[in-house]
Chains A and B, each alone.
Chain A
Amino acid sequence: MSNEQAEFADFFRTSWEPCLRAVLAVAGSPQLAEDQVAEAFAKAWASWRKVRRHPAPNAWVVRTALNTGASWWRRRSREMPLPDHDLTAAGDLGVGLDASLLTMLRRLPARQREVIALRVFLDLDTETIARQLGIEAGTVRMHLSRAVTTLRRELTAANNHGG
């Protein structure tokens, strides 16, 4: 294995899980998230000489995975899914998952979910998130603030409902 391959393998091994969790927080379905992240890592290796110099390579992977997912869903609109296909996406979430929190996340607008995912799972600062998403830092702060407000309200309601 060359130095370049070893470098990528190390990056892949350490970044797989945080990237997958970030994409899962946005995509909602573990299977789709796994496919999207695997595809993004493949693209990262295809462009490794560029990606390795990226200030946040794992953010590059997450952003690529999310773009790939969006592309897949656009193409999927040409298909005729089975009537209960959405149940699959919502129902294969595995065990140990705080399903209510994931449901809260999925109710957020897509951009707010992306901001949350990049902040929470990749620990990126506002400026880096802004560069990744191609938006202003102030817009990132706005999305983050709105997402936090919504989540706090829903967590409070869930807590009160739960007694």
Chain B
Amino acid sequence: MNGHDDMSATDVLSTVRDSLCGMPVAGPPDVEAIMARGRAHRRRRLIPGVTGTAAVAAGAALAVTALTPASHLASPQPSHPAGRPPAAQLAAWTVTKLADGNISVTIRELADPAGLQSTLRADGVPASVTFASQQNAACRPYPGGTPPQAPQPLQVTTLLKRVFPKPYNELPPPPRPGGARLVPANGRPSGPPSPSPDSTVIVIDPSALPGSAGVQLGASDSGDAILTPRVVYASPQCTGS
């Protein structure tokens, strides 16, 4: 065969298979968490006109899962390269260290902010996380422009990249009353939140963070929005270091 010039259909498909099967993928989450999520689907299907109350119940159920240590829920699969560990769990949130050093935060429910904060800090990200209407007052926004330590102009979007598989306003609420409110894209408070187990993904590039900066996930200045990722000055009171 001369290169790919006379590849048969089978050759082409084999090339696709061989190439993509060599790429690292996450291992399966804990099956118990998947089944718990499935049971929540089943409950919602059985109850027509499900309301936010049911959403809170579903959120509380999954929040319990989030309290289980990740190492107890997932183990590396032999086929996974060391740089791409399997997803730790399917729970209120998941923190995954990617092969390129970025930290991926998948938030499915607004639960256990202290745990998320601790996990991020343990992964080397100075972080402040508050899933409440009040953010940490000790945090000061990091100024735009070029910080002394960084060779490139500092842009928040280069440090915190968000994808929106699901809108914020469809994240389940925290499992306790009086917590954060959810705000859709137009900035106005939403109606009763959907019980959807959908998630929001935030990718943090720690190497792009100046030494004096950290990450804050929390309410906006208006006190309405949540999950607003921002770059702030790192300090013991704000980001723990």
Chain A residues within 8 Å of B, Cβ to Cβ: 5, 8-9, 12-13, 16-17, 20-21, 24-25, 29-36, 38-39, 41-48, 69, 72-73, 75-76, 78-85, 87-89, 91-98, 101-102, 105, 116, 119-121, 144-145, 148, 151-152, 155-156, 158-160
CA distance A65 to B148 in the complex (A): 46
Is there an interface contact between A148 and B9, defined as CB atoms closer than 8 Å?
Answer: yes
The answer, yes or no, to whether B122 is at the interface (CB within 8 Å) is no
Whether the pair B170, A38 counts as a contact (CB closer than 8 A) is: no
B42's contact among A30, A32, A46, A145, by CB below 8 Å, is which? A46
* Minimum CB distance partner of A116 in chain B: B16
Interface size on B, residues (CB 8 A): 62
Determine the distance from Cα of A151 to Cα of B53 in the docked complex, in whole angstroms: 50
Task: Collect the chain A residues with CB atoms within 8 Å of residue B168's CB.
Answer: 79
Given the contacts A79-B167, A81-B163, A82-B162, A98 and B23 also touching, CB distance less than 8 Å: yes
Interchain CB contact (< 8 A) of A30 among B9, B26, B29: B26
19 cross-chain CB contacts under 8 A: A13-B28, A16-B27, A17-B25, A20-B25, A36-B165, A38-B34, A43-B41, A45-B37, A76-B167, A78-B184, A85-B163, A92-B104, A94-B83, A102-B20, A116-B13, A148-B12, A155-B15, A156-B5, A158-B4
* B81 contacts chain A at the CB level, 8 A cutoff: yes
B19 proximal to A (CB < 8 A): yes
Chain B residues near A87 (CB-CB < 8 A)? 161
Of the stretches B127-135, B193-201, B218-226, the one at the interface is B193-201
Question: CB < 8 Å: which of B23, B100, B106, B184 contacts A31?
Answer: B106
State the majority secondary structure of interface residues on A.
helix
Taking CB atoms, residues of chain B closer than 8 Å to A89 are: 163
A46 touches B45 (CB 8 A): yes
From residue B82, how far is it (CB to closest CB) to chain A in Å? 10
Whether the pair B31, A9 counts as a contact (CB closer than 8 A) is: yes
Please give the distance in Å from A48's CB to the nearest CB on chain B: 8
Please judge, given known A-B contacts A12-B31, A31-B163, A156-B4, whether A25 and B20 are in contact too, CB under 8 Å: yes
Contact (A92, B203) CB under 8 Å given A8-B31, A120-B13: yes
Cβ contact within 8 Å between A82 and B104: no
Contact in complex: A72, B165 (CB < 8 Å) = yes
Q: A38-B29, A45-B39, A76-B167 are in contact. List 20 more A-B contacts (CB 8 A).
A: A24-B20, A24-B25, A31-B163, A39-B197, A42-B40, A43-B38, A46-B42, A76-B166, A82-B162, A88-B163, A92-B98, A94-B83, A94-B98, A95-B83, A96-B81, A98-B22, A152-B4, A155-B4, A155-B15, A158-B4
Residues in chain A near residue B90, CB distance under 8 A: 38
